[in-house]
Structures are given as C-alpha cells and as structure tokens.
Structure 1
Amino acid sequence: MVVIKKDIIYDETNNLKTDIYFPNNTNSQTKILIFWHGGGWFAGSKNDVKDLGIKLANAGFMTLIPDYRLAPDFTFPAAHQDSKKFVKWLLESNYTDEDDQQNIVQIGASVGGTLAIYVAGLYGFPTVTWSASVDFSNWMKNHPNVIPSRYGANELKLTNLHDIFESFYKFFVLTYAGKDNQTIYKQMDAENYDLSNLGRLKMINSAHELVPLNGILKFVDFLANHDHEIELLIIKGKRHAMDYAKDYLDESLDFLFQTIKE
C-alpha cells in the first residue's frame, strides 16, 4: 500500500506544493524519484499524475511530484527557478538524509523533461525524459510564418497534424517566454543551461510528435561534443510524453535502477 502525503509546501512565498508517494519499504536506503509534470509551462498539475505517482512508489521509489508556477502569469525563468528551489528544499528537508543526493533520480514529461535536464545539469541526478523540449531559439527563428494557437484545429481550422503540432509548439514557447524575443529563447535552450554536473541521461521521443526531432538530434550532438553520456530512444509514431509513458515506464525505471547501482 502506498502512503500519500499531499500538498506539502516547499515554497511559502509562492505557495508551491508537492505530493509525496511513500513505498512500503521506506528505509535509510530509500531511492528517491522526482517526477516533473508537463503541460507546456502553462498547464498541468501534480494532481494530473496521481496514478503514475502510485506506480513509481510501488516500484520502490519515494516519489515527489511538485507543482511549479505557470505562464502566462509567470514567464521564463519562473518554472526553472521553482525546480531549483524545490531540489534545495528537498535536500534540506526531513524527507532526505545527509547523503541522499546520490539516491535521487528524475523523470520528466514534456516540458517537465526540460526542467529535469536543467536540474540534472546542476545536481547530476540520473534522468529520463519523455518528449523533452530542448530547442527553442532555432525553431522560432526558422518558423516565422507559423501562427501560434493552443487549439489549431478549431481556432485555425488546421487539418494536418504536423501543422497543428507546429502551431501549438509556437504557442507554448511564446507563452512561457512572455514575448517574441530571441535572447529569451536562447536562454530557454537546453544547451545553454549549466550542464557542468550532468550525469546519466536517457531521452525518449517519438519520431513524428509535437517535439521537433531535429532539435533533439542537435542537442544530442551538442552533448556528445561536450563528452556527456546520453542514451536516445526514438520510438515510432506520433505519441507525445504521457501518451506513451505506460509503455516505456519499465524501461525508464530499469535505466534509473542501473544508475543507482553503479
């Protein structure tokens, strides 16, 4: 049976909370997993992934699922700042022991995967991303004529899924950036994060999904050129993040278990 502690405040100033899912076998060697939810930085909540939290706890991880501030009320770098603040809170809290940093791993879905990469660069946590978005400045520069829309099929009468994806991609990037500004987009690019402590990273993406594959390949090439270890799994189809999560959860956990044992 999984024990759930809900709405634990980790940032009183912004009233930000996390849920914690405790496995049965909690002890001094407990493995800790942070799950970052997606939603394009403008939507999504820890409450949306309760079932996943239970599954992760049943796999043996004390699982924490934090919320973070959302656009348009809070634009870049608000969510990034919140992710960093959350980890600092966790490491200083009663939920971790002094040497628990080596027992922490991450999974992030969609832009939650982007936040996970940001955190991994700072702390070195082994990380799996599901459809992380990593390239913004080049994409925005190369798609000036795409009209941003959250609901491209209805609002713009788009019928091609690729066009709908592009419209939505531009919408959430612009929404989180707060304005059309290349300087901000470059700061949002994952290759411009502090990646000095980046450890084991596994990225999973679909071949024809919302996240442009060329941006993923560009980021992987960047990491390789900077001597980072990375695994990239491209799966067939058009599914994004949580759409394929259940099919690749075991593979993701196997990767994380292996990194903890090393």
Structure 2
Amino acid sequence: MISQEARDLFAANVKAMTAGDAPHLAAQTLPDDVDRRKDIAYVDDGDRHHLLDVYTPAKRESGEPLPVVVDFHGGGLYYGAKENNECRDMLLARHGFAVVNANYRLVPDVSFPAQLQDAMAVLEWVRDHGAEYGLNAGRVCVTGDSAGGALALYLAAANSSPRLAGALGVTASGVDVKALVVTSGMFRLRGGVHATALGYYMEGYLQTPADHIRIEPYLDLDRLVVDSDLPPVYMITSVEDFIADNTYELARILHARHRDHAMSVWPKGDERVLGHVFNIVQAGDPDAAEAHRVIGDIADYCRRYV
C-alpha cells in the first residue's frame, strides 16, 4: 500500500524533473548520421512503456550484425523515458554499435520486481528479434544511468545466475551479457544520506509482501555480487555527482570480491558543472567536450568485451 504522502512526493518530483530536463532536450542537436527505428514493441500489449528504439550507424563498412548496447534511462525508477537518452545513445551508435534504448514501466504504477521483468524482456527481445534489425545477440553490453543503472545492475546479476533470477522472480534470458556500464548509478535503494527520501520511495519500489521477500535480501549489494556472476563492470561518476558515494560503495564491494571492474571519477568541470549523469544531459551540446569524451570511453569499454 502506497501512502498519499508518497504518491504526492513522486508526482512533485516528476513535475520538477520534467521541467529540469526540458531546456536541454529542446536545445539538443541529434546526429544526422545515425539511423533511428523508433517505438518497437518488445512486449506486445499496447503499453507505451514496452517500446524500444534501435539506433545504428547510417553508413556501415559491412553488412555484419552489430554488437549491441542495451540502455535503461534514469529517473528514480518513477520518471523518464527513452527520449531522455536518445541523443547520447545515438552518439554511442556512431562508434559502431546498435544501441537498444528501452522504456520500462514506472513506479508507482508498478514496483521494482515488475521493472526487472521488463528489463529481462528487453534482453529476450534482443535474443529473439535482434537479427531482424542487424543486431548480434552474442555480443551484448548493458548500460544504465542513475536509477536505470540500478536496474541494469540487478538485470545483469539476475541474467548471470538462474538461481538468483529465480529468487528475484525472473528467468535468465540466455543472452550472454559481456559487460555492464553504469553512469552515476543509484545503487542504494535505501539508507545512506538520502535515507529519509528513500523511505518514501520504498513504498513504491516494493509494494507487496512478495516484493519484499524477493528484493529485500538483495538490497545488500554485497550479497547481490556474491550470489551472481556479474560481467566486467565500468562505473562512471564525478566529484560533482550528488550520489557519487553509491558508485564508491559498489566499487569497494567489487574490489573486495575480486570482480573485474573499472571506475572513472571526473573532477570538477573546466567550463561547466559535471554533475549527475552529465554525459547524458550534455550529450546534445556539441561543445560539451567532457561529456563526449565519456561517450567515447563507454564505447571503448564495451568494444573491449564484444
């Protein structure tokens, strides 16, 4: 049961985040050398949240299927759409990838386990239909930003372990995810310096006793890492990212558990603030050199494993 106070908080945040994103989305310049195939249903139920886009380089040296990057947008799990990430993902496609940019259902209409089911369904779509769009389902990386980074982390963990997938209420897709890239990951879903707000959000994240049984044990990120076989993980944050501590915490766990990982922490920006998910919100500005360097770094990391 979600309290009215929590619902009001979600609604107020959605309004504020929509207003905050509007200026840079209106001003962004989309690349004209990338093909877009928009609003493809990955679940055939007519729900707009079950749509994805596929971006590919307009000019390709060969007709070989492309390595794939699957992306999940941020927004606290209750806000956002694939269009928020469209420009960044099109720029990433320039580097020789097919980028699958997916919507998923949002809190409080659904809870986090249902969002994880949506994310797994996207991998299943890549497995079953990717070849129709020139995708190589044997060369797949997953990425996400902010709360989409948490979704990507839990997806990669569940997908790597049938036992963990069962505990989380999903079935592993069978797609071999080669690498995970997370920008400004909101990995901590409770506690920490944002514990008060997260206490309200948790009413939406886990809405039923069954939700709590599935997810609560794995709010412990160490247990999530130990019980999974995560692919190599690349984490990106900055000293101006208000939840950089989440990335540091996950990096500490991955290091302690001897898991393959890398981390980039950007210093204060030279000409602009390099804040939360800056490589996405600044992607549409051709002069945002640091954001564009991050996009190149993501491409390089994914290329290394696919």
**Normalized against structure 1, the TM-score is what?**
0.76
Alignment match, 2:36: 4
Q: In structure 2, what is the equivalent of residue 21 of structure 1?
A: 55
SS in 1 for 2:254: helix
Contact in 2 for aligned 1:125/1:200 (Cα 8 Å): yes
* 8 A contact 1:124–1:199 mirrored in 2: yes
* CA RMSD, 1 decimal: 3.1
What does 1:162-177 correspond to in 2, within 5 Å? 172-177=201-206
State the SS of the aligned residue for 1:88.
helix
1:117 aligns with 2:163: no
TM-score normalized by the length of structure 2: 0.66
List aligned pairs for 1:93-172, cutoff 5 A.
93-95=129-131, 100-121=136-157, 122=159, 123-139=176-192, 143=195, 146=196, 148=197, 172=201
Is 1:223 paired with 2:254? Answer: yes
Q: 1:205 is paired with a residue of what secondary structure? A: strand
Once residues 203 and 95 of structure 2 are traced to their aligned partners in structure 1, the CA distance between those partners, rounded to angstroms, is 37
Unaligned runs of 5+ in 2: 1-32, 160-175, 269-273, 284-290
Return the offset for 1:48: 2.0
Checking the alignment, whether the CA contact within 8 Å between 1:136 and 1:185 is kept in structure 2 is: no
Q: Secondary structure at the match of 2:109?
A: coil
The answer on 1:34 being equivalent to 2:65 is: no
Percent identity of the aligned residues? 22
Unaligned runs of 5+ in 1: 149-168
Distance in 2 between the 1:51 and 1:82 partners?
23
Distance 1:257 1:114 in 2: 22
Q: Indicate the SS of the match to 2:297.
A: helix
1:161 is aligned to none
For residues 123-150 of structure 1, give each alpha carbon's deviation from its aligned partner in whole angstroms, at most 9, with x where no partner exists: 433121101111234428x84xx3x3xx
Structure 1 residue identity aligned to 2:250: F
Instruction: Identify if the C-alpha distance between structure 1 residues 12 and 239 changes in structure 2 by more than 3 Å, giving closer, same or farther.
Output: same
Which of 190, 206, 224 is 1:193 aligned to?
224
Q: Report how many residues are paired.
A: 235
